[in-house]
Amino acid sequence: MADDNKEVVVPSGPAAQAAPQRSERSDRGRGGDHRGDRGPRGRRRTQENDGDRDNGFVEKTIFINRSAKVVKGGRRFSFSALVVVGDKQGRVGLGLGKGNEVSDAIRKGGENAKSHLLAVALKDKTIPHEVLAEFDGARVLLRPASPGTGLICGKTVRAVVESAGVRDLLSKSLGSKNPANVAKATLDALLQLRRREEILKSRGLETRLSPAV
């Protein structure tokens, strides 16, 4: 009879089947939490690439590179970040920062970019004329576009021209796909832009700009 009493205590039916299912779900949950550690790192990179506003400047992280140095105790990692900063009013700059942490590299890159801001000649929200620039193996072609076209370009070119204040643009990236070379080629292309008034002034034709009497 004592054995019968022990058997009555054991749950049976749906309750007995529900218990192992709950344990399996909990195991899956713990496994999902462990695999989910990759998620926050990916989102953090996306937020860093989006950039933020600081005193009217827009900061965007173009590329983050990790390098390893093999020492006696193991490997030491360091990071370098290429950052573009602009005020969306015709001023833009590129900067490279290095550090032992990603945040330090981005901060140094932003400070370096702010100290090297350059003025770009724009026409409304596009560029005044077509331009082609090269940097090492990268070639970037920029063309003006009508209002409402938007930025038809890759993510690296978009980050540079958008920080400068361009909203309508057609572009084509040729040659190397290295983000650093493409960004520098894009910046060189923007620096080659000249307004009509500047060209006429350099040729000594300022009188043509005065209205006819």
- Name the strand (E) or helix (H) holding 133: strand 131-135
Q: So what's the pLDDT on residue 29?
A: 43
pLDDT in tens, 32-55: 443 333 333 333 333 334 445 556
Q: What is the mean pLDDT of residues 6-10?
A: 46
Q: So what's the pLDDT on residue 199?
A: 81
pLDDT in tens, 112-127: 999 999 999 998 889 9
Q: Give me the chain's average pLDDT, please.
A: 78
**Max Cα–Cα distance, the chain, nearest Å:** 122
Pairing between strand 151-152 and 169-175? parallel
Q: So what's the pLDDT on residue 18?
A: 45
Domain that includes residue 157, residue range: 53-197
Q: How many CB atoms lie within 10 A of CB 51?
A: 22
Asked whether the whole model's pTM tops 0.85, one would answer no
| Residue 5 falls inside a structural domain | no
DSSP state of 124: T
| Residue 17 falls inside a structural domain | no
| Residue 27 falls inside a structural domain | no
| Residue 203 falls inside a structural domain | no
Assign residue 173 the CATH number of its domain.
Answer: 3.30.230.10
Q: How many domains does the chain have?
A: 1
| Residue 174 falls inside a structural domain | yes
Q: So what's the pLDDT on residue 210?
A: 52
pLDDT in tens, 124-146: 889 999 999 999 899 999 999 99
Q: How confident is the model at residue 31 (pLDDT cuts 50, 70, 90)?
A: very low
